[in-house]
Amino acid sequence: MSHHILIVGSGDVATALESISLALDWKPAVVTTLDDVTSRLPDAESVVVLSHDEQLDGPALAAALTSHASYLSAMGSRRTQARRREWLLANGVSAEAMTAIRGPAGLDIGAITPAEIAVSIIAEIVAHRRGATDTDALSARSGPIHPDAVPGSIACPGDTTTP
């Protein structure tokens, strides 16, 4: 069965997500503007926000929360997730509604490269679609995403913000 996945943002992780989605016979749409998010959102069953663009992330997440997408996630550090939550709260999204956002996106497989990160996100989407409950999501783990790294030494691929 075909699955529509909306990938918000560009870069190596977006490219890998698109590629893996196509291999699964899904229908990926990679978008980089809010207008494109709005036009593609009605078809989206999964939405993955990768952009790290404050002008795009919050509005895309807010729009996705009002859509019929059953899976919604956002890539980024805990600091990035907190910044997005603050934006969403300041723009009328309730804390309860935000519990639908999985962030950091992906299963906890120790992913580091863009392709590995894409695999972990795709795996989380598959688990969600199939109702698998015995998975370890990154969003469920406390502490740093990369526990062996010096804080601030690992940047998300495509992240243009400074720590």
pLDDT at 135 over 90: no
* Assigned superfamily of 4-140: NAD(P)-binding Rossmann-like Domain (3.40.50.720)
Q: Which tens digit of pLDDT belongs to each residue from 98-109?
A: 999 999 999 999
Q: Where are the domains of the chain?
A: 4-140
| 66 touches 94 (CB < 8 A) | no
In angstroms, the CA 68 to CA 18 distance is 21
The proportion of the chain whose per-residue pLDDT surpasses 90, expressed as a percent, equals 71
Please check whether residue 74 is in contact with residue 6, taking contact to mean a CB–CB distance below 8 angstroms: no
Would you say 115 and 101 are in contact if contact means Cβ atoms under 8 Å apart? no
Specify the pLDDT at position 162. Answer: 46
Asked if 114 contacts 11 with a C-beta cutoff of 8 angstroms, the reply is yes
